[in-house]
């Protein structure tokens, strides 16, 4: 630990958002501490190599969390969704908040999902989520509430839209595999409505900016979308980036098809949740650009990730 240099606890450090943030904070010369479930896995080793301090343990491991939080004054908090146990994430958030406060953390940032904005006071969704996803959004909202009520000097809530990385390895294999396998994406959007896309590096950039200016970012719930694109246009750009002449086709599901997905209890958001059609309305890219400039377009993202685009689609 170096004197005067902030020390930040980062959850999901081996994951997409947490990993990007850990790298960006280390780039600033800050100290980063995290728990990891398997200290020998390649992503954990990569974190160790850039000087992230790791403690073995998971989100329920009080001893590991307490050790990882030692010396931290800032915390980035987030959890994966658990549709079998909606209580898990709020319970873990309350635990982490308690331990973070005990450790002396004064600033907390949490990351949830754009859908929670539907639950804000005065917001009426144009299309309500199905009961399953209403519970999912409520679970995420409880996580936000735990951070907001945690007694920190500064809190910020990040609500990311649709990850640009959903079509690349590894996320593509969990819900979007038809894109590489069949050249098609069946989805609940309509041809004219744009999808609110987010680059995970921008999520990290936003969090890093907030950590550097706790007063300015205190009390902000930010919907994070860096570009809005109609689905077919997005797939066309992806096909060009793959570069082997293939086409990728959006299949806009009929009402009948969507109802069938809901009845079968499919968990795939974009096969069943009509409410995501208007998710873009929950973010304001112009305001975001003013707050943290440099919103990534999908084109810029694909260019930056060109090697991953090729390995996902040409080596699969
Ligand atoms: N994909 C989207 O379009 C989208 C949009 C909005 C919000 N989100 C939200 O983003 C979140 C996922 O974030 P991400 O994509 O950055 O993460 P990710 O890449 O899926 O990685 C998940 C991280 O969580 C860790 N983890 C999982 N279960 C754990 C446990 N029980 N104890 C400790 N660590 C655990 C994993 O560690 P290991 O390395 O040990 O597995 C990994 O670091 C989800 O909550 C999702 O709802 C996603």
pLDDT in tens, 63-95: 999 999 999 999 999 999 988 999 999 999 999
Q: How far is CA 72 from CA 50, 82, 189, in A?
A: 18, 27, 42
Predicted pLDDT of residue 2? 52
Which of 71, 59, 16, 52 is CA-nearest to residue 204?
16
CA of 16 to the centre of ligand 1 (A): 7
Give me ligand 1 centre to Cα 171, in Å: 10
Q: Return the H-helix or E-strand segment holding 310.
A: helix 306-314
> Ligand 1 centre and the CA of 255: distance in Å?
31
Ligand 1 close to Cβ of residue 58 (< 6 A): yes
Cβ–Cβ < 8 Å for 162, 264: no
The answer, yes or no, to whether any atom of ligand 1 lies below 6 A from the CB of 80, is: yes
Residue 141: CA atoms inside 13 Å, Cβ hemisphere, count? 13
Q: Ligand 1 mean position to 81 CA, how many Å?
A: 7
Confidence of residue 283 (pLDDT cuts 50, 70, 90): very high
Give the nearest ligand 1 atom to 163 CA.
3
Nearest to 155 by CA among 102, 106, 83, 95: 106
3-state secondary structure of 218: coil
196 within ligand 1 shell (Cβ under 6 A): no
Instruction: Kindly report which listed range (40-44, 189-193, 211-215, 268-272) carries the lowest average pLDDT score.
Output: 268-272
User: With 90 as the cut, is the pLDDT of residue 286 above it?
Assistant: yes
pLDDT confidence band for 311 (50 / 70 / 90): very high
* Integer-rounded Cα radius of gyration of the chain: 19
- Is the backbone of residue 60 left (phi > 0), alpha (psi -120 to 50) or beta? alpha
Query: What is the pLDDT at residue 121?
Result: 82
- Predicted local distance difference test score (pLDDT) of residue 265: 84
For atom 17 of ligand 1, the residue with the nearest CA is 15
Instruction: Give distance in angstroms: CA of 242 to centre of ligand 1.
Output: 26
Q: If you average pLDDT over every residue of the chain, what do you get?
A: 95
* Smallest CA separation from ligand 1 atom 47, residue: 81
Q: What is the mean pLDDT of residues 116-128?
A: 86
- pLDDT for res 90: 98
pLDDT, residue 3, reads 60
Whether ligand 1 lies within 6 angstroms of the CB of 17 is answered as yes
Question: CB within 8 A of 12, min separation 6: which ones?
Answer: 18, 19, 78, 79, 80
Q: How is the chain split among helix, strand and coil, in percent rounded to 5?
A: 50, 15, 35
């Amino acid at each position: 630990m170096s004197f005067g240099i902030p020390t930040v606890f980062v959850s999901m450090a081996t994951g997409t958002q947490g990993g990007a943030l850990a790298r960006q904070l280390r780039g600033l010369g800050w100290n980063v501490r995290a728990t990891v479930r398997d200290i020998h896995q390649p992503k954990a080793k990569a974190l160790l190599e850039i000087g992230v301090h790791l403690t073995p343990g998971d989100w329920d491991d009080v001893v590991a969390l307490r050790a990882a939080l030692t010396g931290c004054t800032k915390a980035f908090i987030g959890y994966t969704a658990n549709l079998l146990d909606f209580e898990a994430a709020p319970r873990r958030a309350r635990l982490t908040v308690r331990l973070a406060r005990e450790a002396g953390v004064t600033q907390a940032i949490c990351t949830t999902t754009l859908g929670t904005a539907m639950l804000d006071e005065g917001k009426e969704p144009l299309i309500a989520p199905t009961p399953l996803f209403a519970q999912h959004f409520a679970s995420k909202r409880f996580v936000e509430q735990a951070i907001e009520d945690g007694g920190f000097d500064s809190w910020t809530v990040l609500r990311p839209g649709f990850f640009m990385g959903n079509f690349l390895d590894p996320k593509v294999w969990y819900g979007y595999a038809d894109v590489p396998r069949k050249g098609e994406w069946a989805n609940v959007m309509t041809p004219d409505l744009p999808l609110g896309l987010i680059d995970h590096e921008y999520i990290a950039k936003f969090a890093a900016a907030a950590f550097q200016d706790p007063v300015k970012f205190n009390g902000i719930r930010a919907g994070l979308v860096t570009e809005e694109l109609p689905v077919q246009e997005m797939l066309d750009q992806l096909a060009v980036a793959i570069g082997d002449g293939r086409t990728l086709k959006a299949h806009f599901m009929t009402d009948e098809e969507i109802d069938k997905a809901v009845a079968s209890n499919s968990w795939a958001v974009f096969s069943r949740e009509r409410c995501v059609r208007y998710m873009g309305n929950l973010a304001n890219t112009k305001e975001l650009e003013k707050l943290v400039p440099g919103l990534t377009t999908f084109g810029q993202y694909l260019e930056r990730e060109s090697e991953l685009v090729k390995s996902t689609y040409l080596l699969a």
